[in-house]
Amino acid sequence: MSSGRTVHPVPSHTTMTDVARVAGVSIKSVSRVINNEPHVSQRLREKVEAAIAELDYVPDTAARSLAGARSFTIGVLFDNPSPNYTMKVLAGAYRACIDNQYHLRIDTLDSFVPEADLRRQVDQILRHSRCDGFILTPPLSDAKVLLDMLEARGVAYSRIAPMLDVDRSMAVMIDDTAAAAAVADLFWARGHRRIGIINGPNTHGAAVNRRRGFMERLLQLDPAILVSEANGGFSFEGGIAAGHELLAARRYPTAIFAANDDSAAGVIVACSQLGLKVPSDVSICGFDDSWIAKSVWPYLTTVHQPIDMMAQYAAQMVLSRVSLNETQRLRQLDFELILRDSVADAS
């Protein structure tokens, strides 16, 4: 008995030509669907995808790269000391690459070198990576030399958490200013009036915005308030040193906001070294909600930002073959203040 359905023999090594034959379309049409090009009709897409499923066809990324100008690789550029942040960015970007059959490349730049040296670093990456585009992470998101060079060579890029000239490119961010203000409100509501902040690098846009949001909100609550400050550089070791600096004062802060979780964990260590208890003596709040927030004790109150989702959106922006409109070029995601055990009422 015949079902009336045409059964196509599956070749031992399925090619794009086989997909085109089964779908009854040209090879060019199959290529347009696989590469997610614009202006492909829904009917054509369904026919090609049905043939791909029937033949269990897996596109050959290497062959696709040789056949056209694209390398089917995007790169992520880092200059960030936080391993927790780095891993979340990679997880999100990798997810977008897998969904689009792309490879992911990782490179690091030192943005603190003289401009001529930075130009040489960027030139080396652009010469040898053959990436179709790049995701820029802070502080590279605001490195003007890097942005200028990418644009001059016509290389697509998106930025995570830029602070300067936000409308210049595709970008994904949260409202760091509002998030830090929420931490200030939390400390104030719990009765803290001697307050400290451990800042990130002043070349890092998000760190600058967090400090501004925190300080401005406290000054709104009490124009005469004095806030103790130290620099932790977004690192665990920097948090320990900054914690010792703030807690050495006779009237040390009863609440400290660290601009990321790594430095907040360092402050917890500094408290332990000085014989102070968290949170009964000192309340501590971090930022990021990385894995370290639940690897320390007490568990860390922190601001959750969806770093992996930010990276995934940034990658999708670069991978998009369609020109994004103004609302799609800039995406702001939500944050959440996560209350755990490291913040308590002031003694």
Distance CA 39, CA 296 (A): 51
Q: Alpha carbon of 51 to those of 27, 29, 36, 63, 100: distances in Å?
A: 12, 12, 16, 19, 18
- According to the model, what pLDDT value does residue 325 have? 52
- According to the model, what pLDDT value does residue 331 have? 93
- According to the model, what pLDDT value does residue 69 have? 61
- According to the model, what pLDDT value does residue 10 have? 46
The residue with tokens 């968290």 is 278
Distance CA 329, CA 194 (A): 41
Global confidence as pTM: 0.76
Pick from 344, 202, 221, 217: which is nearest to 285 by CA?
344
Pick from 202, 215, 192: which is nearest to 284 by CA?
192
Amino acid at site 192: H
Distance CA 91, CA 290 (A): 13
Strand bridging mode 156-160 / 133-136: parallel
What's the average pLDDT block by block, 10 residues per block, for the chain (347 residues)? 48 74 87 73 87 78 53 91 87 94 93 91 87 94 94 92 91 97 98 98 90 98 97 95 97 97 97 98 97 96 97 93 60 97 95
- According to the model, what pLDDT value does residue 265 have? 97
Distance CA 158, CA 315 (A): 7
Distance CA 270, CA 79 (A): 26
Residue 319 tokens, joined: 């991978």
- According to the model, what pLDDT value does residue 2 have? 46
Q: Alpha carbon of 102 to those of 23, 51, 309, 329: distances in Å?
A: 24, 21, 18, 21
Q: Alpha carbon of 265 to those of 32, 259, 280: distances in Å?
A: 49, 11, 16
Length of the chain: 347
Pick from 332, 347, 337, 334: which is nearest to 171 by CA?
332
Distance CA 342, CA 77 (A): 33
- According to the model, what pLDDT value does residue 130 have? 82
Distance CA 347, CA 340 (A): 18
Confirm if 70 and 64 have CB atoms less than 8 A apart: yes
- According to the model, what pLDDT value does residue 61 have? 52
Amino acid at site 173: M
At residue 150's C-alpha, the angle toward residues 144 and 155, to 5°, is: 150
Domains, the chain, ordered by start = 16-59 (1.10.260.40), 73-174+308-332 (3.40.50.2300), 176-304 (3.40.50.2300)
